[in-house]
């Protein structure tokens, strides 16, 4: 037994055992319940009492030595542990993935950019509107189907309050506040009570345009819209204006562009007609000017309105409206823009 004690003592003092680098493995080897020293204590108990005196002292000394050594290993381990925690300033930084702009935002910016180059300024209005700004001031007769509950989200407690169904309401707000010359565009969200499908959604985005001054003509409107179409879809783009009806414009038209996909020769996007519709427009009805306290004898003007998703669908050839609202990162990551 004395031999064993001596060997263990030497082992501890030499520091050669691999366990001496790590406090826990050292403790397990020497000081745990099943460790070498505890085993020695067990065999010590079985010794005849006259031998106990001789070994007891040596064993206690050995245990003390091991305990002291364990403290030392722990102390040195702590200091090297702290070293490890210090940041390594030479390591490269963590790269944060950069987001992309939403396609609707990209197209909205492009539309705004084209019209602001022509001197149009941006104006905005509330999404929760009243009947006057969305319908009445815009010359909608009381029984017009667009006021029907099926198209418009009304606030149940007050049918005078509703979610705007078009950004034409902002025209009214601008004209009420400001006298001509007025040259403004109004981008914004609009709401309609539609079942969601590939071609319809209950929320979408529009840009409204309004130009009012003395002597503004239909030809002025046509030229500005031609400029817009060519900036947006390419210089070879042609436009055509088809007679249409809106309560707030007279005359009214719908504008088609030559199909940007097939160049006019016919494809399934333009349904083999060579043309695709992109907006409504017309000369502001004198009733609307009068409703907004603008002298309809003195001033004339034009207005136009387009859906941003519709332009995006044509530009990106993504024909399911729902994709613009789902925010699937795999879809959004495909749109890289200069904006």
CB of 323: closest distance to ligand DAH in angstroms? Answer: 22
Of 115, 191, 246, 299, the residue at the interface with ligand DAH (CB under 6 A) is 246
Q: What is the side-by-side order of every strand in the sheet holding 275-284?
A: 121-122, 182-191, 203-213, 300-307, 275-284, 249-258, 239-246
- Over the window 251 to 280, marking each residue x when it contacts ligand DAH by CB under 6 A and - when it does not, the resulting string is -----------------------------x
What lies within 8 Å, CB to CB, of 259 at 6+ separation is 266, 267, 269, 270, 273, 274, 275, 276
297's tokens: 């004898």
What lies within 8 Å, CB to CB, of 118 at 6+ separation is 183, 224, 227
> Phi, psi (5° rounding) for residue 268?
-75, -15
* 233 lines the binding site for ligand DAH (CB under 6 A): no
Strand-strand pairing, 239-246 and 154-155: unpaired
* 204 lines the binding site for ligand DAH (CB under 6 A): no
Of 282, 285, 289, 309, the residue at the interface with ligand DAH (CB under 6 A) is 282
224's tokens: 């500005």
* 131 lines the binding site for ligand DAH (CB under 6 A): no
CA gap 123, 63 in Å, rounded? 85
Taking the least distance from each CB to ligand DAH, the nearer of 62 and 180 is 180
CB of 330: closest distance to ligand DAH in angstroms? Answer: 31
Of 139, 249, 291, 300, the residue at the interface with ligand DAH (CB under 6 A) is 249
Of 133, 147, 166, 205, the residue at the interface with ligand DAH (CB under 6 A) is 166
CB of 100: closest distance to ligand DAH in angstroms? Answer: 29
CB of 311: closest distance to ligand DAH in angstroms? Answer: 13
Taking the least distance from each CB to ligand DAH, the nearer of 72 and 213 is 213
CA gap 151, 134 in Å, rounded? 13
Of 281, 311, 313, 323, the residue at the interface with ligand DAH (CB under 6 A) is 281
CB of 339: closest distance to ligand DAH in angstroms? Answer: 25
Taking the least distance from each CB to ligand DAH, the nearer of 211 and 324 is 211
182's tokens: 């007025």
The C-alpha R_g of the chain, in whole angstroms, comes to: 41
What lies within 8 Å, CB to CB, of 91 at 6+ separation is none
Taking the least distance from each CB to ligand DAH, the nearer of 208 and 309 is 208
What lies within 8 Å, CB to CB, of 218 at 6+ separation is 251, 283, 302
CB of 187: closest distance to ligand DAH in angstroms? Answer: 13
CB of 92: closest distance to ligand DAH in angstroms? Answer: 52
- Over the window 298 to 317, marking each residue x when it contacts ligand DAH by CB under 6 A and - when it does not, the resulting string is -----xxx------------
The site for ligand DAH, by CB under 6 A, has a size of 11
* 180 lines the binding site for ligand DAH (CB under 6 A): no
CA gap 245, 83 in Å, rounded? 78
Cis peptide before 251 (omega within 30 of 0): yes
Q: Which residues bind ligand DAH (CB under 6 A)?
A: 166, 168, 208, 246, 249, 280-282, 303-305
């Amino acid at each position: 037994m004395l031999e064993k004690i001596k060997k263990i003592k030497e082992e501890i003092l030499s520091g050669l055992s691999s366990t001496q680098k790590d406090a826990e493995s050292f403790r397990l080897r020497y000081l745990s319940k099943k460790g070498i020293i505890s085993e020695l204590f067990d065999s010590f108990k079985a010794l005849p009492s006259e031998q106990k005196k001789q070994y007891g002292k040596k064993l206690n000394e050995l245990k003390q030595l091991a305990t002291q050594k364990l403290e030392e290993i722990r102390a040195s381990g702590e200091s090297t542990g702290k070293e490890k925690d210090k940041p390594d300033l030479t390591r490269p930084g963590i790269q944060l993935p950069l987001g992309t702009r939403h396609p609707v935002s990209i197209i909205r910016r492009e539309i705004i950019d084209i019209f602001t180059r022509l001197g149009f300024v941006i104006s905005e209005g509330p999404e929760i509107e009243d009947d006057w700004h969305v319908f009445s001031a815009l010359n909608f007769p009381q029984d017009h189907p667009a006021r029907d509950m099926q198209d418009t989200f009304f606030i149940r407690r007050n049918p005078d309050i509703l979610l705007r169904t078009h950004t034409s309401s902002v025209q009214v707000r601008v004209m009420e506040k400001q006298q001509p010359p007025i040259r403004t565009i109004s981008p914004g969200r609009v709401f309609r009570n539609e079942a969601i499908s590939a071609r319809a959604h209950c929320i979408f985005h529009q840009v409204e345009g309004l130009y009012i001054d003395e002597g503004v003509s239909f030809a002025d409107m046509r030229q500005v819209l031609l400029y817009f179409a060519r900036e947006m879809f390419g210089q070879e783009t042609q436009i055509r204006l088809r007679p249409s009806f809106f309560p707030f414009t007279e005359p009214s038209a719908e504008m088609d562009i030559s199909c940007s996909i097939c160049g006019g020769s016919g494809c399934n996007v333009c349904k083999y007609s060579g043309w695709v519709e992109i907006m409504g427009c017309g000369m502001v009805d004198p009733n609307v000017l009068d409703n907004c306290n603008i002298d309809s004898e003195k001033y004339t003007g034009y207005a136009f309105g387009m859906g941003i998703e519709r332009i995006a669908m044509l530009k990106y050839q993504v024909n399911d409206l729902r994709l613009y609202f789902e925010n699937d990162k795999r879809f959004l990551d495909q749109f890289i823009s200069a904006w």
